[in-house]
């Protein structure tokens, strides 16, 4: 994470802070540096919109079990049906589940997930 912080600082970003050892980074910046990552990063407004659109508000009571997926684009309906067959709890963590392992290939869309705890911490760090 130190190397990631150094890289982002070297690109001209300010107030670079990381959260846990998984590549979650909050920073400030604009101009040329911001344009470099525009397609791969979410700004605070986009992150807040994703949190506000949570279709399972009752699940917030178990923040480690509620995951929001950030996809490159919307998947097709047929892809969603394939994924439905894998729905299940991941009591030992979503990172080790069949659901997480097969999500991108079944949807045909690149993406990443964050649990509710991480999402709310990133929002707090971003000042949202």
pLDDT of residue 124: 94
The answer to whether residue 27 scores a pLDDT higher than 60 is yes
Dihedral of the alpha carbons of 119, 120, 122, 123, in degrees to the nearest 10: 120
pLDDT of residue 93: 66
* Domains located in the chain, CATH noted: 1-40 (3.30.70.1280), 42-128 (no CATH)
| Kind of pairing between the strands at 67-71 and 24-28 | unpaired
Its pTM surpasses 0.85: no
């Amino acid at each position: 994470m130190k190397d990631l912080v150094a890289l982002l600082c070297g690109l001209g970003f300010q107030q670079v802070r990381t959260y846990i050892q998984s590549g979650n980074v909050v920073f400030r910046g604009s101009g040329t540096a911001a344009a470099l990552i525009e397609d791969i990063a979410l700004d605070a407004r986009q992150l807040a919109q994703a949190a506000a659109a949570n279709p399972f508000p009752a699940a917030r009571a178990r923040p480690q079990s509620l995951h929001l997926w950030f996809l490159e684009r919307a998947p097709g309906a047929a892809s969603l049906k394939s994924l439905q067959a894998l729905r299940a709890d991941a009591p030992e963590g979503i990172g080790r589940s069949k659901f997480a392992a097969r999500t991108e290939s079944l949807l045909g869309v690149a993406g990443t997930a964050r649990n509710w705890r991480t999402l709310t911490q990133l929002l707090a760090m971003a000042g949202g």
